[in-house]
Structure formats: C-alpha cells, structure tokens
Amino acid sequence: MSFKAAAIQMCSGTDPKTNAETMERLIREAVSQGAVYVQTPEMTGAIQKDRAALKAVLKDEKGDIVVLTAAKLARELGIYVHVGSTAIARPDGKIANRGFLFAPDGERICTYDKIHMFDVDLDNGESWRESSAYEPGTQARVAELPLATFGFAICYDVRFPSLFRTEAVAGAEILTVPAAFTRQTGEAHWEVLLRARAIENGAFLIAAAQAGTHEDGRETFGHSMIIDPWGNVLAVAGGEGEEIVFADIDPSAVTAARSKIPNLKNARDFNLDTVKNAAAAGGGLQ
C-alpha cells in the first residue's frame, strides 16, 4: 500500500523554542497536503557553532522541546513524525546527535544516534570536529512499521555504505538520511551519494536537509530529496530556506527493483591479498 511522505527543509537558528515552532508549522502544512510520514532535518532543534552556548540550552529527552512537540503532533495528527535529529544531553554529560521516530499515537518507536562523526578539513579552510562535542552512536537500527520497514542514518553516515547495506539486508525498504550538509560538500557530493545509496540497496531514500545561511553563520546546502529504488529523484527542494517536498511511496517498487538486480542476494564473501611489487619498489629484475 502506498503512502505520501514529506521531507521538511529548515534553516534552524540557535533557539530551540523558535525552531520547534517552525517545525510544527511545517509539519502541519505537510499533513494538510496528505503526508502520513514526515521527516525533519538533522539538528532540527538548533544549529549552533558555539559549543558552550549549545550546552546551555540542551535538555534531556524528557525536557527537549523538539521531542515533546514532535510527540504531540504525531498523536494529534495521527501520523509518523521522524525528527531527523536534535542535540540531546546525555546522562554522562556528553551530547548525542539523536533522531526520533514517533507513532501516530504519540509513542516513541525508536531513536538513532549518529554513528559517524563529521571530523574533516575542507579546501576552503572549513574545519569540523563533531567528535569534540558529540558522542558517536554504536547501534544501527531498522523499524518495521505498517507503512514499510525504515532504516536510519544521519548526514555524514551517508559516506559509509556498509551501514545502509546492513540495514537493507535486515529488511529496510526506506533509507533515511536527514542532514545538515555543508554547502561545499553538498555541491560536490550530496545528490550522487544519496542516489548511490538508493540504487545499490534497491530502496527508497528520504533526506530532509538544512538549507541556507544560519543564525550562527554556517551555510548548509539544502536540496532535500526523495529518491526511488531505481535512483530516480522523485522530489527535490531548492538550496535556500524552508520548503517541503512530497512523494508517494509504494513499497512494492522495492521488491521490483531488487528482483531486477538482486545484488543483496548475490553478494559474496571474499578474501583480500596484498601483493607487493618488488620491482616497482626498486628491487629491479634479475
């Protein structure tokens, strides 16, 4: 049975309350147009470079305004709400980059903590060390819903195909990649990475993104996307600010794609040998 999915694009600022209000407005708009599953971007609750300022507004799950608002909306509107992620204070004093999925009764189905930390040095002088503030997750996760089976990832995770393959082999029909991609990396890699993950796993992929110039000065790429199991882009947003994109999701398309190219079944284990070429290393020929 097909259903309508929505990916909400935001330009989150530094105040979680304001961002929660924006999220609520956009979710209500998505539902008014028929969406029954709505995904928000990575760091829905706050985009904040200043670590001390971020920690000052952090709450645990029970007190986080984005989490509470999402649960309320799921229950009131009778939909699945997927908070792509928000920063959550952990009991050990560290921060989790955590996604949440809520059922139509408002109950939390599951969470997912981003596994791969964005620790990079880019050509234009941008340098990011996500691991300096966030504790990486260790648990991949799929959720079997009446709609379909969903697999979870966040942003930089998209560069690690084994995560998606593991989820697809476990039954995931829809892969999710809420993100806050930088403009530089997004222009180069965003679409090709998303389409590759969809194609190689024969799965739908939904990626809600942050977009535009944020209150803290950061720039994100946007272009929220929904992609089908054959790699076709069903919907794409622009690169600046708020937007909602929609697509009808028919899980039978996953079965069809995996029947045509059954690479999940055809994968084989293999061994790796490293052969050293002595001649190339200066050994010469005798």
Residue 266 has pLDDT above 60, yes or no: yes
Phi-psi region of 261 (alpha: psi -120 to 50; beta: other; left: phi over 0): beta
Q: Judge whether 282 lies within some domain.
A: no
Q: What is the pLDDT of residue 74?
A: 98
In a domain, 107, yes or no: yes
Which range marks the domain in which residue 120 is found? 3-265
User: Could you tell me if residue 72 is inside a domain?
Assistant: yes
As a whole number of angstroms, the distance between CA 180 and CA 222 comes to: 8
Please tell me the predicted confidence (pLDDT) of residue 2.
Answer: 96
Point out the catalytic residue in the list 17, 61, 76, 155.
155
Whole-number Å distance between alpha carbons of 26 and 49 = 24
Residues 45 and 215: beta-carbon distance below 8 Å: no
Return the minimum-mean-pLDDT range out of 5-19, 103-117, 127-141, 257-271: 127-141
CATH number for the domain spanning 152: value is 3.60.110.10
Highest mean predicted confidence (pLDDT) among 34-43, 48-57, 130-139: 34-43
pLDDT value at residue 212: 96
With a cut of 80, say whether residue 79 has pLDDT above it: yes
Is residue 132 predicted with pLDDT exceeding 90? no
- Given a cut of 70, whether residue 119 has pLDDT beyond it is no
What confidence score (pLDDT) does residue 283 get? 57
Q: How does the average pLDDT of the chain come out, rounded? A: 93
Q: Sign of the CA dihedral 255, 205, 129, 101?
A: negative
Q: Per the residue annotation, which of 4, 21, 62, 114 is the catalytic one? A: 114
In this prediction, residue 171 has a pLDDT band, given cuts at 50, 70 and 90, of: very high
Residue type at 15 in one-letter notation: D
Number of separate domains in the chain: 1
Is 286 inside any structural domain? Answer: no
Residue 89 domain-assigned? yes
Question: Is residue 7 in a domain?
Answer: yes
| Cα 27 from Cα 123, distance rounded (Å) | 36
Average confidence (pLDDT) over 75-92? 96
114 is catalytic: yes
Mean pLDDT of 121-127: 68
pLDDT digits (tens, 9 = 90+) for 233-242: 999 999 999 9
Catalytic site residue from 4, 24, 42, 240: 42
* Residue-level pLDDT at 92: 87
Asked if pLDDT for residue 284 goes beyond 60, the answer is no
Burial degree of 4 (CB within 10 A; 0-12, 13-18, 19+):
middle
